[in-house]
Amino acid sequence: MFMTSVIGHFIHGEHVSRGERTAAVFNPATGLAEKKVRLADKATVEEAIASAEKAYPAWRNTPPLKRARVMSRLKQLLEENADTICAMITAEHGKVLNDALGELQRGIENVEYASYAPELLKGEHSKNVGPAIDSWSEFQPLGVTAGITPFNFPAMVPLWMWPMAVACGNTFVLKPSERDPSASIFIAELALQAGLPPGVLNVVNGDKESVDTLLADPRVQAVSFVGSTPIAQYVYATGTAHGKRVQALGGAKNHAVVMPDADINNAVNALMGAAYGSCGERCMAVPLVVAIGDATAEAVIAGLKAEIAKMKVGPGTDTGNDMGPLVTREHFEKVKGYVDIGVAEGATLLVDGRTLDVRDANGERSNGYFLGPCLFDNVKPGMRIYQEEIFGPVLGVVRVASLEEAMNLINAHEYGNGTCIFTRDGEAARHFCDNILVGMVGVNVPLPVPVAYHSFGGWKRSLFGDLHAYGPDAVRFYTRRKTITQRWPASNDPGRAMFSFPSSR
């Protein structure tokens, strides 16, 4: 097997490569290990932290407007280099190129929001909190902060984190997924080019050793994490046990409710992308449709089957494809196994993607990790394919009699990341939005990912912490409040000793 390159780290503005352990980086469309990535040992991570610590004082004192302008320039560089970045994503993650572009664009929107820093960092000023006493708040940076990101959005999720962190005046150590590390390194280079001083953003590739180092090192003030729920919980518990602030986003099992009054064509089209886009490897994907009434279920299923029949699956480099391969062989096997389990559990497999036959350019059966779209009917609570996050192109239809029954299901589920309802009815929409225990809710919007100027976060076991990712919450997460109370006594006013607690009496 021929390795074209070895991906290292990016520390203090330079590529760093050492004799550390490595892991193969596969192209999921070919099954070939085309690159290697170095897995940082503790010393390398500490070097990155030290770099961030060194860069902090000057960056902290750089006016917010100047920091924001680096983000503006980065936005422009990301747009100019979009093709390169998308090619990296597709080569390592497998998703179709224009899906990669969608992801990148969302990431750019987060960079854009970070460029509003002068507005976002305003504190509150109160005149005369007492006679001639003023008080105000400042939102000061924390110091060195860190992010740990998953394989499924190799460009977007890192861009949820570090642009806001550095716009707020922090420095950052990013540990992206070792499955698809190239985009993060490349974007770090662009950031340098945009004017980010060396050390403000460092990227280390690695595995648990890196993660544990970041969680334990006392110089790291805050950790943002996106991944699966068990790891999210581990990161939250471990980081906080070390006294840090942590926000850890975990798994999901998003339900889409289809009401009888919904426009079925519209709902079906929306569900297709939400279920099968990026092979369902999105924490906002919709793997479950909850149809209210059998007639609704039948209509939705008929529509889905017709649309699935039109889908094209193949390498992500071909933008005519709707879906590329799964990310790794292990993940392919796991997802395929869930289809087997669903059948065994008694769900009705209407479309079986396990038999998909993708050919490569030579007409040979591809070694890529391709799984066709799968559709189950009669999925029921209690089944593993209902309870667990599959993260693959497997959509299940759950039939219920009423909106209340649908909402009870959703509210009883372990996860509360996203959900949506398809309806024309204002009352149903409002009732659903108000009472559903889910953090991100769509009304006729299948993937209700908040725009960059709002914040992203689920409820229940989909998020640990109190502040959501990006948007306004990120400003608060990446800053420490300082409150100043100021009085300028007249030059000849001795005051008097006040032993009682000061108040507005």
Interacting residues with a second copy between 134 and 163 (CB under 8 A): 134-138, 140, 156
Site string for a second copy, 317-346 (x = CB under 8 A): -----xx-----------------------
Active site residue 168: no
What span, in angstroms and rounded, lies between the C-alpha atoms of 19 and 469?
Answer: 35
Q: From the CB of 364, what's the least distance to a second copy, in Å?
A: 26
Residues 280-309 that bind a second copy (CB under 8 A): 282, 307
- Helix H, strand E, coil C: the string for 200-214 is CEEECCCCHHHHHHH
Which residue reads 């809710």 in tokens?
441
Q: Which is nearer to a second copy, 41 or 53 (CB)?
A: 53
Residues in the interface with a second copy (CB under 8 A) total: 135
Find the shortest distance in angstroms from Cβ 332 to a second copy: 19
Residue 466, token pair as written in the block: 């109190």
Minimum CB–partner distance for residue 148 and a second copy (Å): 17
- Active-site residue among 86, 168, 279, 283? 283
Q: Among 15, 122, 208, 384, which residue sits at the site for a second copy (rule: CB under 8 A)?
A: 122
Neighbours of 58 (CB within 10 A): 12
The residues with which 27 forms a beta bridge, in sequence order, are: 32
260 binds a second copy (CB under 8 A): no
Q: Which of 165, 120, 146, 288 is nearest to 226 (CA)?
A: 146
Q: Which range, of 176-184, 343-351, 379-387, 424-432, touches a second copy by CB under 8 A? A: 424-432
* Residues from 165 through 204 that contact a second copy (CB under 8 A): none
Enumerate residues 6+ apart whose C-beta is below 8 A from 11.
44, 47, 48, 51, 199, 202, 203, 204
Interface with a second copy, residue 495, by CB under 8 A: yes
Element (H, E) at 42: helix 42-60
Q: Which member of 47, 92, 99, 178 binds a second copy (CB under 8 A)?
A: 99
Q: Say if CB 291 and CB 258 are below 8 A apart.
A: yes
Binder of a second copy out of 43, 132, 344, 401 (CB under 8 A): 132
Footprint of a second copy on 226-245 (CB under 8 A):
233, 236-237, 240-241, 243, 245
| Least Cβ distance, residue 69 to a second copy (angstroms) | 8
Piece in contact with a second copy (CB under 8 A), picked from 11-19, 198-206, 286-294, 442-450: 442-450
Note whether 453 binds a second copy by CB under 8 A.
yes
Residues 419, 414: Cα–Cα separation, whole Å = 13
Question: Which tokens sit at 487?
Answer: 């009085």
Q: What is the DSSP string of 389-413?
A: ---SSEEEEEEESSHHHHHHHHHHS
Assign residue 470 a region (left: φ > 0; alpha: ψ between -120 and 50; beta: otherwise).
left
Residues forming the active site: 283
